[in-house]
A and B are shown apart, each in its own frame.
Chain A
Amino acid sequence: MVSATVRKPRLEEAADMPAHAASRIRVEHVSHGFDAPTGRLEVLENVDLNVAPGEFVALLGPSGCGKSTLLRLVAGLEPASAGAISQDGTPITRPDPSRIVVFQDPTLFPWRTVWDNVALGLQAQGILKQEKSRVDAALRKVGLEGFAKAYPHQLSGGMAQRVALARALVNNPRLLILDEPLGKLDSLTRLEMQSELVSLWQKNGFSVLLVTHDVEEALFLAQRVVIFSPRPAKIITAIAIDRPYPRHRDDPVLTGLRHEVLNRLGLGKNW
């Protein structure tokens, strides 16, 4: 909450300029597990991870390895069993609008119009009346200003996920947490949305923590790819991707990196 006063943007800034800061996230020695009917289920094992302010980090690993759980811990939706997670030096104990999650499903509220869905965060924080223009600005950012009055069931999958992005961006997050946000889209829409994600990140300057199991997506988007082992998830390695944006999918450096990443995931023979 300390940070809220720092980043409070003026109206004009909210519309156009990435005036708010990005967060530094520290994950230190975090382990986590659940009590399942069959016994204790360990999900994360001694995970250490730093996200520098404005950095785009992708978490890559086999399905069900616990990456999404790590995101929930960083979001503050659940407390970690062991270890410490902090945002700009402050321990994360509960959810906060400065860290917004976009899930694999758009999870739009079907009873709200697109505009009201995007307005959700501002309404929850009790500042909607003063900050209405931020909703319109967020819809413009994702190119859906013409669909403000539509209901979610009238949208395509890609449009719904754009609305979910707008609903996240309207809060001016300093960390955007993306849990396989493009996982359920068709491949063409996914390519389009990947480029949009990059430009949204560049314009807004927030930090990004992305979970995906699409190697190409991770390489196309992130500055650093962190590779996890199967459950309980441990970090195997992290690979820095020092390529300029916008990237090209046929970039030979990326192709080489893809081979390396697949090797690290134990899938080298399938290449």
Chain B
Amino acid sequence: MSASATLERLPATKPQPELPGISVLTPPSTPPSKIAVAAHAANSASEKIFRFHWFGLLPIAAWGLLGALTLAWPNLPAGFEDWVYTTEFGIAALAVAALLAFLTITASIHIGPLQHAGAIFRHGTPWLAVSAIILAAWEILTAKTGVLPPPFFAPPSSLIDVYVSDYARLADSTYNSIKLLLEGVGWGAAVGFTIGVSIGWSRTINYWVHPILRFLGPLPPTALLPIAFFFFPSSHAASVFLIALATGFPVAILSWSGVAGVNKAYYDVARTMGASEWFLIFRVAIPAALPQVFVGLFMGFGASFVVLIVAEMMGVKSGLGWYLTWAQGYAAYVNMYGALIVMTIIFSSLISLLFTVRDRVLVWQKGIVKW
């Protein structure tokens, strides 16, 4: 493996910037003859546009193995009818192996737009291999050996069944969860931001709002759940309120701290140039506070997920939280895993989206953390 990396990376025609890793791969103590051979090989290889991505064989093998063992190793009798979709899962794994073979060859072609995509694929290669190994271990521990017994554990193959047979209910729950979440987060972020900027800017507002925020803010919104369901006309309205509360608190605190922490010299500069109060708020204070606001939004999102799921478990009649309790009621643990995976994907995507927006907005910052 290290030999192939050496071959690929050795600067042949163009002088490349010296990467720290390269010196490790080709120590200067290497016998001259070997260097000459390597350099010669690299030279001819880099002139070709096709350089085989040897490491890509690993995920192909892993997925092939996953498919083979799923198909060839009979499932342990689980006391009820056999796990469904085992064959399909095995075939799918083999199909992934075939797809990876195609991608590995594509990633070996160093030309034009393929170069960038190829680099991404090569970067992801270790994870592609490891994910197959995890799935294989999961399949073996559940369906094949029963070390993790049913009904509490289910093999990955059986998840396919959830998505196929309970598609409508799951999709409906997902849609309702996202809708409720975005409604609550939208209100919470907007109100929290406005409050935060106001108490950061105005002493009077700070005097009146800060104690309330300080007193009520740390209260977990989930503790208000029973009261909220009683006071609000619908469980939907109550949930929106609680999610907004959970989001709004961190957004308000961090917007406030962002505005309060703005370098006072920025205001002096803007004021000497004739800036109005409006200009100072919207063109100085808020842009300067935005990095903090995004930290608040990140924290608010996290808190909103908790409240969303709890609210749906307690009173809302649809959504992924409701789906979890519903599945529990029928001891349908496989469905629960299915819903958990959907949740993971949605929440992780929302956070990724937030970070993408932040990277766009805060392009001026250096050393920004990559999500």
Residues of A within 8 A of B (CB): 72, 75-77, 95-97, 99-101, 103, 105, 107, 109-113, 120-121, 123-125, 151-153, 167, 171
Instruction: Determine the chain B residues whose CB is within 8 A of the CB of A109 once the complex forms.
Output: 266, 284, 287-288
- Contact check, A99 vs B265: say whether CB atoms are below 8 A apart: no
Instruction: Give residues 330-371 of B contacting A (CB, 8 Å).
Output: 362-366
Instruction: Determine the chain A residues whose CB is within 8 A of the CB of B272 once the complex forms.
Output: 75-77, 95-97, 99-101
- Contact check, B273 vs A120: say whether CB atoms are below 8 A apart: yes
- Contact check, B273 vs A151: say whether CB atoms are below 8 A apart: no
Q: Is B269 an interface residue (CB 8 A)?
A: yes
- Contact check, B273 vs A124: say whether CB atoms are below 8 A apart: yes
CA distance A153 to B273 in the complex (A): 23
Given A124-B276, A124-B279, A125-B274, are A103 and B364 also a contact pair (CB < 8 Å)?
Answer: no
0/1 string, B249-289, CB within 8 A of A gives 1 = 00000000000000101101111111110010001100110
Distance in angstroms from B234 CB to nearest chain A CB is 42
Please, which residue of chain B has its CB at the minimum distance from the CB of A117? B269
- Total count of chain B residues near the partner, CB < 8 A: 23
Given A97-B274, A107-B263, A125-B273, are A77 and B268 also a contact pair (CB < 8 Å)?
Answer: yes
- Contact check, B275 vs A124: say whether CB atoms are below 8 A apart: yes
Instruction: Determine the chain A residues whose CB is within 8 A of the CB of B65 once the complex forms.
Output: none
Instruction: Determine the chain A residues whose CB is within 8 A of the CB of B237 once the complex forms.
Output: none
CA distance A175 to B71 in the complex (A): 85
Distance in angstroms from B39 CB to nearest chain A CB is 37
CA distance A247 to B360 in the complex (A): 49
CA distance A111 to B284 in the complex (A): 10
- Contact check, A111 vs B287: say whether CB atoms are below 8 A apart: yes
- Contact check, B268 vs A153: say whether CB atoms are below 8 A apart: no
- Contact check, B274 vs A110: say whether CB atoms are below 8 A apart: no
Instruction: Determine the chain A residues whose CB is within 8 A of the CB of B363 once the complex forms.
Output: 151
Please, which residue of chain B has its CB at the minimum distance from the CB of A94? B271
Partner of B273, one of A100, A103, A105, A110: A100
CA distance A112 to B366 in the complex (A): 13
CA distance A60 to B202 in the complex (A): 38
Please, which residue of chain A has its CB at the minimum distance from the CB of B286? A111
Q: Is B290 an interface residue (CB 8 A)?
A: yes
- Contact check, B288 vs A171: say whether CB atoms are below 8 A apart: no
Instruction: Determine the chain A residues whose CB is within 8 A of the CB of B276 once the complex forms.
Output: 124
Partner of A107, one of B269, B271, B287, B364: B269
CA distance A109 to B288 in the complex (A): 8
Instruction: Determine the chain B residues whose CB is within 8 A of the CB of A75 once the complex forms.
Output: 268, 272
CA distance A99 to B364 in the complex (A): 29
**Across the A-B interface, the 3 shortest Cβ-Cβ residue pairs:** A121-B273, A124-B275, A97-B274
- Contact check, A120 vs B270: say whether CB atoms are below 8 A apart: yes
- Contact check, B283 vs A123: say whether CB atoms are below 8 A apart: yes
- Contact check, B366 vs A153: say whether CB atoms are below 8 A apart: yes
